[in-house]
Structure 1
Amino acid sequence: MADPTPLLSQANNTPCDTTTQTNEQHHLPSLGSTIEKCIGEINWSQFLQAVLISFVWIFDAQQTFITVFTDAMPSWHCTGEYKNLNQISDVRSNLQLGPTIKIQNDCYSATSFNDMCNLPKGSWAWDGPAQTSMISEWALECENSIITGLPASMFFMGCLVGGLLLSTLADSSSLGRKNMLFYSTLLMALSSFLTTFSPNIWIYSSLKFITGFGRATIGTSSLVLASELVGKRWRGKISVIGFFCFTIGFLSLPAIAYVNKDSSWRNLYLMTSVPTLFYCMLVKIFVQESPRWLLVRGQKEEAIATLKYITSITQSNLNLAINNMSSNEEENNLNVDLFYALKILMQKKWSSRRLLFVMAIGFGVGVVYYGMPLGLGNLSFNLYLSVTFNALSELPSSLVIFLFIDKFRRRIALLVFCIISGVFSVMSTMEGEIWSKMQIWFELISFFSACTSFGIYLIFTTELFPTCVRNSALSMARLAVVFGGVFSPLLVGAGREYAFLCYGVFGLAIGFSGVFGVFLPETKGRALCDTMDEEENKGKLSCDILA
């Protein structure tokens, strides 16, 4: 079968439209194959661009999991004996303590924050300064979990709204991948910086919503931009750089929090937001726009300039590329609405089906990926160590993807790691003296598998959709992951009373979600497509070969 017609050789067409091809056009190389030849083998310029673009994942991880420490319930201790006998009687009644318990033991017998709230004021105190957590600073220790969990919930709600409203801007608007990355990161950094001045939980929660709103498209824009700057041979490995950076960001949090354990929780936001602001300057100055996106938008001169900057393309190959891309002298300056790319995705039966299956997988992965770190407080293990171990488990996960992504069949690998994560998550709910000691190891294996599933899932999604809708499709995929994360705090809260409602439900969600990957086409070793026609024709060709 002949290659599909290159997009820019079709006059008066939008990037994702289906058109009738002439016999002459059938002999022209596709846009995707032309760009692959231009990009060629990876060089230092492309590698450094990918590293700089992927560096944003460090700050993304910090803002995603920072509430594990800033919103944590601090440890507390008893201060002495009660002096009022009426108080002693009341406390014994509330705590259902026996009459033979010593007065001082009334306090020591209180093992939870619910018990602590029944103790007289002055009988207990925080182990550290009150400003180490927003809970202790604003005296929220006796508030219900809806209030104390509001900032984290608002962050994920912001991610949902931002993912929905901003998902198509990098495809449908004139912003592009680079500007979308810049403005999203800047909004996240500024709102995080302003969080340090929050006077109460309501302002704090509002700023967390804005932070989540800005953060919603950061990972998507970064992953798509980095993958579109290199050829298919290095696409998977370059994508893993972002996962490594996310791990570094996650791993930096317990270190920053431990150093800051006797200081204000506001310092964590200050120490993570200021470097992000400096990073935004670097993006604006040094990062190049995706040549694929520029060509799809009809900006041939800018695309050629970018190719000259990031590749060592020879003048002869460049002239060939210019001839292939310049059949249409009129630029395709598109005037489309905000949800144009999503409309194109839903109009095609094959693309809408792919998107539905992808989002089903993302929901299950998101429940575990975001829920497990939030649920570490339910385990009988040191919080700093457990968060550190979880962050460290992302390193071998990224390494596995980096080393074997070119050998993985995407569908099978996704299914296997989802099932492994689900099985060990359920096992971490088992009770008993021996099983309780094994909980943290079961949780780590489950989280490692979930991280690996998440990485494969993102790479798989970028390969399933063409350039003209890739950013929108990946944004919707991440939106499904965040949607799963919205339910995670609720399950974590329920798991404090019934363990299975936390890690048990986590396991069932991710285990069943992996099955949907079987219904998606395999993308291992395929070149990226740039138009809907090209992707559809490639899918038909695959079906013909299988038949």
Structure 2
Amino acid sequence: MDEDKDLEDLMANLGDFGRYQCFQFLLHLLGAMTAGMHMLSLVTVAAVPEHRCRIPGLEGNDSFGDWNSSEISSYIPKTADGFDSCHIWDSATNTSQTCTSWVYDRTYYQTSRAVEWDFVCSRRWMGAASQSIYMFGVFTGAVLLGTLADKYGRKTIFYISAVLQVILGVGVAFVSEYYSFLGTRFFYGMFGSAGSYITGFVLTMEIVGPSKRTACGVTTQASFALGCMLVAFWGFLIPDRQLLQIVYGLHGALLLGRVHEAVTIVERAMRTNKHPIPLDVAHFVSKGLATNVKREDRSYGISDIFKTPNMRCRAFNVCFNWFANSLVFYGLSLNTGKLYGNPFLVLFLACLVEIPSYIMTTLLMDRTGRRSLISTLMLLGGLACLVSAYIPQDTHIGSVSATSVVMLGKFFIAGSFAIIYNYTAELFPTVVRNTSLGVGSMCARLSGALTPLITLLDSFDKTLPSLIFSITAILSGLLVLLLPETLNKSMPQTLEDGERFGEGDSACTNCYGRKNSLPHQYSLPLSAVE
């Protein structure tokens, strides 16, 4: 009996969600929570308060001064939204000119990277680049660490990421030069989000039984939302941006202690079951539900996902869905500071609204299936973005209405984003499952990196970013109907299984009764195709 067969027997003895799976799952939830915190930390650490030009000769060098006095109002041009934040009157020429220093409103923020480095007006790109570079780090980690996890084991990559996210999360608080800050944030994103979150999610999908897979996958997403809520919570309590970043970074230390505990639980479970073969824990974690397939001595990579026509079409569709979900999700999350009200409360609510979305998703996924639900949620989320773009916000009612519609859009898109994790894990075979999730997440982080840059387009037209988010979500919501349904179907194990999986199954073929019952037969194993 080979080792993979022994592991199958072990998983059968442990059950769908036994004590071993429970402890492993709690570890993965901590990874998701810290990933959510790291992902949105810049929303508070580098928040951009309300600002206006500093008045030469009237104000000193303090970044925080009198905000709205009658004397100041005679120097600053007025707009429909209040003071012009980038121009000052030149009394000699009676024209407005661009300013080079600013005064910030201290109502909500006492310190901020944006205040220290003036991420405003012509320097807005610096704040956008700071968030984009983090997402590019996640982008790199998603594909690189995903492939390494398939090759060397999930637990190894998970543990390395847990250590480095603490070091980088705390260290970035002390970086005082902008371009060094960007470099640190790149690696912070690579290990702080990609390494622990994606690897932990795949481990969850592999160690729990089919009956618990949906609930565990969505709960992992909810833990990410909890991390986002903690960003708002700690941001409200801690006014100093350096101390705030240190607190965010130290949360990763919770993960380190749990890794060793989880390994101990596995070994104890083996002794309890009196299993005759010593357990290689890293191998066990990596192959929790691997089937009795004789595997060739070769590694699998990204090219295997796109090697054959059925999986290739499916991969492109799934990648675009990841791209669209992330674009809208982070477009709504990263711009909560522009909505009406207390920015900490708005951010907290924008993350809190994800929880009922995940509950709804959990209840519906195993009833409606993945395909129809994710399509519906993306279409509704896209429409919400479209409506919010055209709600006038020059009145109190208009501002509240726009904020409410944005929250509704976040509710829908959070649900669809949760489904795509499970859906991807079920659509692709075991040998490339972590890699496929890594590629999907890579596409999501690419759009996440583009999101801060897209929001800069509001300088030309305030509705343009929302229109881009809306159109992308609606288009992806329609294309996802071409994917096969995975509800109550066994997850594919080999490349051959992956190519045959769901062949001829789409919403169109189901509606019009043209489902292909004779899938293409391959005379050679797909693993031999170069």
Same fold (TM over 0.5): yes
Query: CA 1:139–1:509 in 2, change beyond 3 Å: closer, same or farther?
Result: closer
Deviation at 1:242, TM superposition (A): 0.8
- After TM superposition, the structure 1 = structure 2 runs for residues 318-329 of structure 1, keeping only pairs within 5 Å, are none
Match of 2:74 in 1: 106
Query: CA 1:130–1:55 in 2, change beyond 3 Å: closer, same or farther?
Result: closer
| One of 279, 289, 293 as aligned partner of 1:302 | 279
Bigger drift between 47-56 and 118-127 goes to: 118-127
Deviation at 1:396, TM superposition (A): 0.6
**How far apart, CA to CA, are the structure 1 residues paired with 2:436 and 2:57?**
62
Equivalent residue letter for 1:137: E
The reply to whether residue 233 of structure 1 matches residue 207 of structure 2 is: no
**How far apart, CA to CA, are the structure 2 residues paired with 1:439 and 1:128?**
22
Deviation at 1:151, TM superposition (A): 1.2
Equivalent residue letter for 2:209: G
Deviation at 1:79, TM superposition (A): 9.5
Match of 1:52 in 2: 27
| One of 438, 443, 459 as aligned partner of 1:480 | 443
**How far apart, CA to CA, are the structure 1 residues paired with 2:358 and 2:132?**
27
| One of 42, 59, 68 as aligned partner of 2:43 | 68
**How far apart, CA to CA, are the structure 2 residues paired with 1:123 and 1:469?**
52
Aligned residues: 476
Q: Deviations over 1:70-110 (max 9, x none)?
A: 111234589999669xxxxxxxxxxxxxxxx9744224655
Query: CA 1:201–1:277 in 2, change beyond 3 Å: closer, same or farther?
Result: same
Q: Deviations over 1:141-168 (max 9, x none)?
A: 4552222322111111212222233331
**How far apart, CA to CA, are the structure 2 residues paired with 1:140 and 1:226?**
40
Match of 1:17 in 2: none
Query: CA 1:352–1:122 in 2, change beyond 3 Å: closer, same or farther?
Result: closer
Deviation at 1:456, TM superposition (A): 0.7
Query: CA 1:77–1:396 in 2, change beyond 3 Å: closer, same or farther?
Result: same
Query: CA 1:120–1:422 in 2, change beyond 3 Å: closer, same or farther?
Result: closer
Match of 1:26 in 2: none
Equivalent residue letter for 2:136: M
Match of 2:176 in 1: 199
SS in structure 2 of the partner of residue 527 of structure 1: coil
Are 1:232 and 1:526, in contact at CA under 8 Å, matched by a contact in 2? no
Q: Deviations over 1:162-183 (max 9, x none)?
A: 2233331111x22x11112222
The reply to whether residue 137 of structure 1 matches residue 116 of structure 2 is: yes
SS in structure 2 of the partner of residue 113 of structure 1: coil
Match of 1:378 in 2: 338
- After TM superposition, the structure 1 = structure 2 runs for residues 167-178 of structure 1, keeping only pairs within 5 Å, are 167-171=146-150, 173-174=151-152, 176-178=153-155
**How far apart, CA to CA, are the structure 2 residues paired with 1:7 and 1:507?**
51
- After TM superposition, the structure 1 = structure 2 runs for residues 232-311 of structure 1, keeping only pairs within 5 Å, are 232-261=210-239, 263=240, 265-287=241-263, 302=279
Deviation at 1:274, TM superposition (A): 1.4
Structure 2 stretches lacking a partner, 5+ long: 60-68, 90-96, 268-276, 506-514, 520-530
Deviation at 1:62, TM superposition (A): 0.7
SS in structure 2 of the partner of residue 530 of structure 1: coil
Match of 2:491 in 1: 528
SS in structure 2 of the partner of residue 428 of structure 1: helix
Deviation at 1:451, TM superposition (A): 0.4
| One of 397, 410, 414 as aligned partner of 1:451 | 414
Deviation at 1:260, TM superposition (A): 1.1
Deviation at 1:279, TM superposition (A): 1.4
Are 1:52 and 1:287, in contact at CA under 8 Å, matched by a contact in 2? no
Match of 1:504 in 2: 467
**How far apart, CA to CA, are the structure 2 residues paired with 1:38 and 1:350?**
36
**How far apart, CA to CA, are the structure 1 residues paired with 2:12 and 2:456?**
53
**How far apart, CA to CA, are the structure 1 residues paired with 2:472 and 2:180?**
33
Q: Deviations over 1:436-485 (max 9, x none)?
A: 43101110111111100000111100100111110000111111111111
**How far apart, CA to CA, are the structure 2 residues paired with 1:415 and 1:35?**
37
- After TM superposition, the structure 1 = structure 2 runs for residues 386-397 of structure 1, keeping only pairs within 5 Å, are 386-397=346-357
| One of 117, 130, 134 as aligned partner of 1:155 | 134
SS in structure 1 of the partner of residue 245 of structure 2: helix
Deviation at 1:245, TM superposition (A): 0.8
Match of 2:368 in 1: 408
The TM-score, its normalising length taken from structure 2, stands at 0.79
Deviation at 1:233, TM superposition (A): 0.9
**How far apart, CA to CA, are the structure 2 residues paired with 1:502 and 1:160?**
22
SS in structure 2 of the partner of residue 149 of structure 1: helix
Are 2:125 and 2:456, in contact at CA under 8 Å, matched by a contact in 1? no
**How far apart, CA to CA, are the structure 2 residues paired with 1:124 and 1:52?**
44
| One of 489, 497, 505 as aligned partner of 2:452 | 489
SS in structure 2 of the partner of residue 453 of structure 1: helix
Query: CA 1:80–1:150 in 2, change beyond 3 Å: closer, same or farther?
Result: closer
Bigger drift between 364-373 and 433-442 goes to: 433-442
Query: CA 1:363–1:7 in 2, change beyond 3 Å: closer, same or farther?
Result: farther
SS in structure 2 of the partner of residue 55 of structure 1: helix
Which structure has the greater CA radius of gyration? Answer: 1
What fraction of aligned residue pairs are identical, expressed as a percent?
A: 21
Equivalent residue letter for 2:37: Q
Structure 1 stretches lacking a partner, 5+ long: 1-5, 10-29, 85-100, 292-299, 312-320
Match of 1:21 in 2: none
